[in-house]
Amino acid sequence: MSEKPTRIALVTGAAQGIGRAIALRLAKDGLDVAINDIASKLDELTALSNEIKAIGTGRKSSVHTADVSQEMEVKKMFEEVVETHGGLDVMIANAGIAISKSFMGTTVEEWDRIFAINARGTFLCYQYAGKQMIQQGRGGRIIGASSVLGKNGVNQDLAAYAGTKFAVRGITQAAAGELGRHKITVNAYAPGLINTSMAQGLDENAQKNHNWQPGDFAKWVSDRSILGYNGQPEDIAGLVSYLASDEAHFITGQTICINGGTYCD
Ligand code: NAD
């Protein structure tokens, strides 16, 4: 019996946090993993790529710096990934930023910047992944990063961010509808607060904007969850691992809550 070919994944925003945990988890699951982040994160990406290669004999990994909001950079990244690995089976459009601003305090420049990275970046990565997967004709998995704030936008400090994460849900449904006949599933994760640099930044902003003490923001969120604690990047990586697996073939168009019960839908 012939062995199944090794699948190839691309993870954006992989230098740290949730993207890093996803890249490591997919490599442990047996995929070759191409990783992306912005150019200033090259050292972190190179170290992660070496860590991935050390996971098992023959495990392949490559580094592709690109700003996901720039179409030409995204196009080049996909060309490099396909040239290096021979194809693409799993796309994780994880890269994103947060801007801690109220609705009334958000400027047009801030709105445009966060939508360029979180929404346009996701649209571009889904679209280029879709083109490659359709051309290959062997199906695929596309997975994006929404948020609990893409389900419930009521948070006085993250107005534009919530808009971008609702956009990710919409793009996920639209892409799923169009790509399903090609056996490509499209889903997103909607995490609650996960212990990363982004969460640290939100905590620092709460200190600045509301005179909160260090750690108060994380506690404020965990106090509102059913389980009483916040998540770790590996929790999201576990969900992504399942969504990328053969077993998840019947799940598409979904944005899946993973938030300890801070919000239930
Ligand atoms: P993080 O800030 O720790 O990491 C995000 C990574 O994305 C960084 O390495 C950053 O350099 C990269 N990035 C930013 N802009 C980029 C661009 N234009 N092109 C390529 N890479 C870029 O964040 P995280 O907490 O690991 O979050 C990962 C994703 O999950 C984000 O989309 C975020 O919005 C989402 N999310 C996070 C949380 C949380 O609590 N941490 C909750 C819900 C959703």
- The atom of ligand 1 lying closest to the CA of 233 is 26
**Same domain for 143 and 105:** yes
* Ligand 1 contacts CB of residue 19 (under 6 A): yes
Residue by residue, what is the 3-state secondary structure of the chain?
Answer: CCCCCCCEEEECCCCCHHHHHHHHHHHHCCCEEEEEECHHHHHHHHHHHHHHHCCCCCCCEEEEECCCCCHHHHHHHHHHHHHHHCCCCEEEECCCCCCCECCCCCCHHHHHHHHHHHHHHHHHHHHHHHHHHHHHCCCEEEEEECCHHHCCCCCCCEHHHHHHHHHHHHHHHHHHHHHHHHCEEEEEEEECCECCHHHHHHHHHHHHHHCCCCCHHHHHHHHCCCCCCCECHHHHHHHHHHHHCHHHCCCCCCEEEECCCCCCC
Q: Residue 176 belongs to a domain with what CATH number? A: 3.40.50.720
Task: Give the pLDDT of residue 135.
Answer: 98
Task: State which of 46, 97, 193 you would mutate to test the pocket of ligand 1, scoring each by most atoms of that ligand within 8 A of its C-beta.
Answer: 97
What's the pLDDT band for 2 if we cut at 50, 70, 90?
A: low
Task: Give the pLDDT of residue 155.
Answer: 84
Nearest CA to ligand 1 atom 8: 13
State the amino acid at position 9 in one-letter form.
Answer: A
**Same domain for 136 and 30:** yes
Task: Give the pLDDT of residue 172.
Answer: 98
The yes-or-no verdict on residue 175 having pLDDT over 80 is: yes
Does residue 177 fall inside a structural domain? yes
User: Per-residue pLDDT tens for 210-264?
Assistant: 999 999 999 999 999 999 999 999 999 999 999 999 999 999 999 999 999 999 9
Let me know if 151 is a catalytic residue.
Answer: no
- The whole-chain average pLDDT of the chain stands at 97
Q: Count of alpha carbons within 13 Å of 82, Cβ hemisphere only?
A: 15
Q: Residues 221, 193: contact at Cβ < 8 Å?
A: yes
Residue 96 Cα to ligand 1 midpoint, Å, equals 4
**Same domain for 252 and 144:** yes
Let me know if 242 is a catalytic residue.
Answer: no
Task: Give the pLDDT of residue 148.
Answer: 97
Residue 126 Cα to ligand 1 midpoint, Å, equals 17
What's the pLDDT band for 202 if we cut at 50, 70, 90?
A: very high
Count the Cβ atoms, other than its own, within 10 Å of residue 52.
Answer: 24
Q: Which of 161, 189, 229, 242 is catalytic?
A: 161
* Ligand 1 contacts CB of residue 94 (under 6 A): yes
The yes-or-no verdict on residue 16 having pLDDT over 80 is: yes
- The domain total for the chain is 2
Domain span at 217:
195-230
**Same domain for 137 and 13:** yes
* Ligand 1 contacts CB of residue 96 (under 6 A): yes
Q: Which of 41, 101, 151, 165 is catalytic?
A: 165
The yes-or-no verdict on residue 193 having pLDDT over 60 is: yes
Task: Give the pLDDT of residue 156.
Answer: 81
Task: Give the pLDDT of residue 1.
Answer: 53
Task: State which of 16, 115, 117, 198 you would mutate to test the pocket of ligand 1, scoring each by most atoms of that ligand within 8 A of its C-beta.
Answer: 198
The predicted model gives 47-71 an average pLDDT of 96
The predicted model gives 157-166 an average pLDDT of 97
Does residue 144 fall inside a structural domain? yes
